[in-house]
């Protein structure tokens, strides 16, 4: 699974939990909360969906690693690789 695949997964999850958000111009290097109307509960929903849909656990101490799409991809890539998930 590529980093672009992972970014799309995160965007798809955001689209599910915040359907009114316009995700067409999300900049991968900018913090998601600086670009979108995401509150802490939305962020927790992202983490919960990663666990529910993909079996990926994100410890609370690692939540800052999910700040931007780029950091999400960097953090999640080895976790998807460990699962042997294919795109």
pLDDT in tens, 42-57: 999 999 999 999 999 9
CA 47, CA 80: separation in Å to the nearest integer? 14
Percentage above 70 pLDDT, the chain: 97
Alpha carbon 59 to chain centroid, angstroms: 14
pLDDT on residue 87: 47
Q: What is the mean pLDDT of each run of 10 residues along the chain (87 residues)?
A: 96 96 95 93 95 95 96 96 72
* Residue spans per domain, the chain: 3-83
Say if residues 64 and 32 touch (Cβ distance below 8 Å). Answer: no
DSSP state of 31: B
Class of domain 3-83: mainly alpha
């Amino acid at each position: 699974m590529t980093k672009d695949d992972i970014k799309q997964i995160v965007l798809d999850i955001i689209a599910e939990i915040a359907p009114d958000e316009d995700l067409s111009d999300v900049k991968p290097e900018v913090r998601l909360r600086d670009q979108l109307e995401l509150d802490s509960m939305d962020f927790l929903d992202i983490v919960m969906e990663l666990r529910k849909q993909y079996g990926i656990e994100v410890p609370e101490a690692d939540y800052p690693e999910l700040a931007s799409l780029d950091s999400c991809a960097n953090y999640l890539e080895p976790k998807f690789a460990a699962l042997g998930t294919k795109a």
